[in-house]
Structure 1
Amino acid sequence: MLGSSSLRDLCKPKDSKRKRLSSFDTTGGNRDFLKIFPGDKVQLGKIDGAGVVAHIWMTMAPLEEVKEEFLYRKIVIRMFWDNEEQPSVEVPIGDFFGIGHGITKNYSSAPLQMGPEDGQALNCLFPMPFSNGARFEIESQADDPIKFYFYIDYELHNNMNESNLRFHAQWHREITKGIDGSKVTNPFYEFGGKNITGANNYTILDAVGKGHYVGCNLNIHNLRSTDSWNWYGEGDDMIFIDGEKWPPSLHGTGMEDYFNTAWCPQQEYQSPYFGLLMGGDQNWGGKISTYRYHIEDPVMFDKSIRVTIEHGHNNHRSDDYSSTAYWYQTEPHKEFGSLLPVEDRMPLPNITPDAAGDVDQFFNY
């Protein structure tokens, strides 16, 4: 049994040993952190044998107590299972723990939480099995040195025949290219046209293998400034399983519907499986962050999966999208490709009224 899944499991015997990697001061002192300098790629630890990661806690701060903007987009976390050379997890650290835009904020979901102070206590409860070792790595692309604290709590097992699926997480960012809103009416821009292929949707996950998708967080920066209706989220979710064509078996009715909210929401909300952590500014401008975790309803695939969502109805909108997808699958997995360089991961400046409709400046990053 891969750890306890409910209170009812706590009374059941477990044939495993609890272990931990941490940043404790091995001299017995109180310097319980790693010093990580710009450009460093640091192995947090390596586990031999078979087991499952049960819990990860991390926090960090500037070494000199000088706050660095967007630090949580500049630090990258990677995880490797069973002596693989390519990571199964590669995500900017803030996005991995549930919120984008390079920030932290107190919130709680079932698998991921950011706790006090100000969301800087990063926690993950996704189970992560391995049969032949695990390795964890942090890379700093920050401007200044940091101190980094962590726990990685895991169980060692005699074998891991129970599951051949491995945990994966991947980050994606795209400034979507829609249509020119100045050349059509606002009702057409927001609601017009028909998408009968899904080909130009924003892609949250594109994976090959057998497994199940267990959710994502999605972060949007609304790049349009207008006095007209400026709702960013009219796009449908479309999940294509095992190469199916449009319409896929899982075709939704709108972005807020996939994320289990309703009626163009702006009210912040959090729950075990879905939430809206940032609702945007007036007229849905500015930055948005939302999540949906398929803990009770994973999306299974036998050969491949492509999780997509329209960027505005019929992909009309040009906004800044980023997301982290979480899933389990057999190995080997499809290689992720190169993570965007740090300068291209930074949040964009807010859009001012005199820049309304002009997003071409952002397309070349």
Structure 2
Amino acid sequence: MSVPSFSLGDDLLGRAAKRRRARSARVASWDHTGRNEDAFVVMPGETAVLADLEGPGAITHLWFVQGCRLVLGPGLFDARQAGTAMVEFNNALGYNWEINDPDYYRNVIIRMYWDDQEHPSVVAPLGDFFCVGNSMPASFQSLPFTVSVKEDSERKYGGPAAFNCFLPMPFNSRARIEVENQGDAAYMQYFYVDYELYAEDLPEDTLYFHAQWRRNNPCDGWGPDLQVNSLETQVPNLDGKDNYVILETEGAGNYIGCNHTVTHFTGTWWGEGDDMIWIDDDFRADGSTTWPPSMHGTGGEDYFSHGWGMQKINYPFQGTIIHEDDVPGYQISYRWHLADPVRFEERIKVTMEHGHANHLSDDWASTAYWYQTLPGPRFDVPPADQRLPRRWEGPSMKDLPPPDRGRLDDLRKAMYEQRDARMAEFTAQRQQWLERRAEESRQRSAKNAEYAREVRRRFVARRRTDSGT
């Protein structure tokens, strides 16, 4: 039997040196006029289609950069002439008065649909999908996700950041990615959606990418004021029925991990909750679970592959994004089962205790990621007001009593009147700019779909010519 002198599999590095019957392409937010207005503007209440692709193919990379600004005072320029998506002068200079919307990472929803399913396979707040918990971005690197943030925006609510996702997302007939702005302010979205087109339909054993966000605010703990690891918390949990649920789905597939956001209230330790995962025949015919589950862990930090608490590390498959030592009460972590996927053929339920035997009542949120057969489960996210993070706020103008203009002299009254007039003019100018950019974004979205169809048409035509059909 002859053995090839050079052989490559489908490992990450080997893919680059192996020829494939594929065609690479991209849809992006680039300015079709050739100017530099490269961001989509998505108005409040609007849904923008970022990608609408015909298959067979697979998305190979997502790059997202976004911003959302709240205007507190008028700027010293014509807002209709803004060439960039956001004005970033320091507010102390007096040129403008704007802040980052602290909540928009939870107000904006990302959805993904595969093969014309009526319901999405991915539903999550934009920030949480890219591992930004509590709308507070922090730089980290892992194998499937990275986030990069400027130092002055690190661990600040709504801080601008760059997101990357490298998880493959196959589709046979169609892929659609959209974002919905459920906030009150317009936001700007730069993006790349890189993908491959294939000459043949996907194999029958192909699984489709899914992601779901969940939150318990707070978890229903039976003893939230008991000290973690105290004698009083040493009670048995022999069914897991009150555990926090990270994922529950039916079908065949692979669970590949989650990000996990904790807001801890008692100032002790949020962990000591075991992970418990039920798979296939761990379920009875009536849907109840047997004991013990197929996978039973020993503690929260243990599931995230840490030990003796959580360390400040970013490793390829596990790590900390925000550590409670840096932001008291917050812990944002991740664990990727890419080298060790949790496989299921019929059903899976991934859970974790919130404190030993579920005694803690912390605010938990998570995004689960998995691949499975279609049709996938139907799910959605809670309304926007139930998604917003608990924000620890310092002093702000909300702490000030409203000024009594009636007590001011004529000069000072005139200064307020001047500010009000400038603000009205500036707001109107800015609204015109936003509406123009939003309309151009809608047109660009439709044109991107046309470009993608044309790329697909040329690829198919060339393959037919090469094969002589």
Alignment TM-score, normalising by the size of structure 2: 0.70
Q: After TM superposition, what 4+ stretches of structure 1 lie above 6 angstroms from structure 2?
A: 183-186
CA distance in 2, matches of 1:115, 1:217: 17
CA offsets per residue over residues 193-238 of structure 1, 9 Å max, x none?
Answer: 000001110000001100000000010000225xxxx211001000
237-246 or 123-132, larger mean C-alpha shift: 237-246
User: In the alignment, is the contact (CA less than 8 A) between 2:249 and 2:348 conserved in 1?
Assistant: yes
- What's 1:52 paired with? 58
204-213 or 179-188, larger mean C-alpha shift: 179-188
CA offsets per residue over residues 15-36 of structure 1, 9 Å max, x none?
Answer: 1000111011111111111111
The residue type paired with residue 317 of structure 2 is Y
Between Structure 1 and Structure 2, how many residues are aligned? 342
Question: Out of 198, 202, 210, which is 2:240 matched to?
Answer: 198
CA distance in 2, matches of 1:258, 1:212: 17
- What's 1:68 paired with? 101
What does 1:211-230 align with in structure 2 at a 5 Å threshold?
211-225=253-267, 230=268
Question: Out of 12, 17, 24, which is 1:18 matched to?
Answer: 24
Shift, 1:75, TM fit: 1.1
CA offsets per residue over residues 134-173 of structure 1, 9 Å max, x none?
Answer: 0010001222111111000000001233343100000000
- What's 1:153 paired with? 194
Name the SS of the counterpart of 1:10 in structure 2: helix
User: In the alignment, is the contact (CA less than 8 A) between 1:131 and 1:159 conserved in 2?
Assistant: no
- What's 2:174 paired with? 133
- What's 1:360 paired with? none
User: In the alignment, is the contact (CA less than 8 A) between 1:36 and 1:140 conserved in 2?
Assistant: yes
Which ranges in structure 2 are unaligned for 5 or more consecutive residues?
1-8, 69-84, 88-97, 155-159, 283-289, 394-469
Q: Cα distance 1:183–1:108, how it changes in 2: closer, same or farther (>3 A)?
A: closer
- What's 1:363 paired with? none
More helix per residue: 2
CA distance in 1, matches of 2:86, 2:113: 31
What does 1:33-52 align with in structure 2 at a 5 Å threshold?
33-52=39-58
Q: Cα distance 1:27–1:242, how it changes in 2: closer, same or farther (>3 A)?
A: same
Q: Cα distance 1:183–1:92, how it changes in 2: closer, same or farther (>3 A)?
A: closer
CA distance in 1, matches of 2:309, 2:227: 22
- What's 2:252 paired with? 210
Q: Which is greater in Rg?
A: 2
The residue type paired with residue 240 of structure 1 is W
CA distance in 2, matches of 1:204, 1:45: 28
CA distance in 1, matches of 2:178, 2:220: 34
- What's 2:124 paired with? 91
Question: Out of 366, 369, 374, which is 1:326 matched to?
Answer: 369
User: In the alignment, is the contact (CA less than 8 A) between 2:224 and 2:361 conserved in 1?
Assistant: no
CA distance in 1, matches of 2:344, 2:260: 21
CA distance in 2, matches of 1:64, 1:257: 42
Is 1:271 aligned to 2:315, yes or no? Answer: yes
Name the SS of the counterpart of 1:270 in structure 2: coil
- What's 1:143 paired with? 184
User: In the alignment, is the contact (CA less than 8 A) between 1:129 and 1:160 conserved in 2?
Assistant: no
What does 1:284-295 align with in structure 2 at a 5 Å threshold?
285-295=328-338
CA distance in 1, matches of 2:316, 2:211: 19
Name the SS of the counterpart of 2:134 in structure 1: coil
Alignment TM-score, normalising by the size of structure 1: 0.89
What does 1:346-365 align with in structure 2 at a 5 Å threshold?
346-350=388-392
What does 1:306-325 align with in structure 2 at a 5 Å threshold?
306-325=349-368
CA distance in 2, matches of 1:186, 1:4: 46
CA distance in 2, matches of 1:204, 1:61: 29
User: In the alignment, is the contact (CA less than 8 A) between 1:243 and 1:305 conserved in 2?
Assistant: no
Q: Cα distance 1:350–1:146, how it changes in 2: closer, same or farther (>3 A)?
A: closer
CA offsets per residue over residues 25-60 of structure 1, 9 Å max, x none?
Answer: 111111111111111111112001210000000111
CA distance in 1, matches of 2:320, 2:127: 16
Please provide the CA RMSD for this pair: 2.1
The residue type paired with residue 32 of structure 2 is T
- What's 2:114 paired with? 81
- What's 2:466 paired with? none
The residue type paired with residue 163 of structure 2 is L
CA distance in 2, matches of 1:184, 1:324: 28
Which ranges in structure 1 are unaligned for 5 or more consecutive residues?
352-365
The residue type paired with residue 278 of structure 1 is I
Q: Cα distance 1:12–1:343, how it changes in 2: closer, same or farther (>3 A)?
A: same
Shift, 1:261, TM fit: 0.2
The residue type paired with residue 147 of structure 1 is M
CA offsets per residue over residues 223-269 of structure 1, 9 Å max, x none?
Answer: 225xxxx211001000100151221111001010010000022x311
- What's 2:276 paired with? 238
The residue type paired with residue 139 of structure 2 is N
- What's 1:262 paired with? 307
CA distance in 2, matches of 1:179, 1:193: 11
User: In the alignment, is the contact (CA less than 8 A) between 2:137 and 2:149 conserved in 1?
Assistant: no
Shift, 1:92, TM fit: 0.6
